[in-house]
Amino acid sequence: MALWRAYQRALAAHPWKVQVLTAAHSKRCPDNTCVPCTGSLMGVGDIISQQLVERRGLQEHQRSRTLTMVLLGCGFVGPVVGGWYKVLDRFIPGTTKVDALKKTLLDQGGFAPCFLGCFLPLVGALNGLSAEDNWAKLQRDYPDALITNYYLWPAVQLANFYLVPLHYRLAVVQCVAVIWNSYLSWKAHRL
pLDDT along the chain (191 residues), means of 10: 66 62 42 48 88 91 91 86 88 93 97 96 93 95 95 94 82 82 84 67
* Domain segments of the chain as ranges: 33-189
Question: What are the backbone angles phi and psi of residue 5, rounded to the nearest 5°?
Answer: -65, -40
Amino acid identity, position 22: T
> What does the longest C-alpha to C-alpha distance in the chain come to?
51
- 64 in helix, strand or coil? helix
Q: How far is CA 38 from CA 71, 131, 180, in A?
A: 9, 27, 12
Going through the chain in order, the beta strands assigned E by DSSP cover none
The pLDDT, as a whole number, for residue 7 is: 65
Q: Report the C-alpha gap between 144 and 189 in whole angstroms.
A: 14
Q: Considering just the CA atoms, what is the radius of gyration of the chain in Å?
A: 17
pLDDT recorded at residue 10:
72
| pLDDT confidence of residue 33 | 30
The whole model's pTM is what?
Answer: 0.76
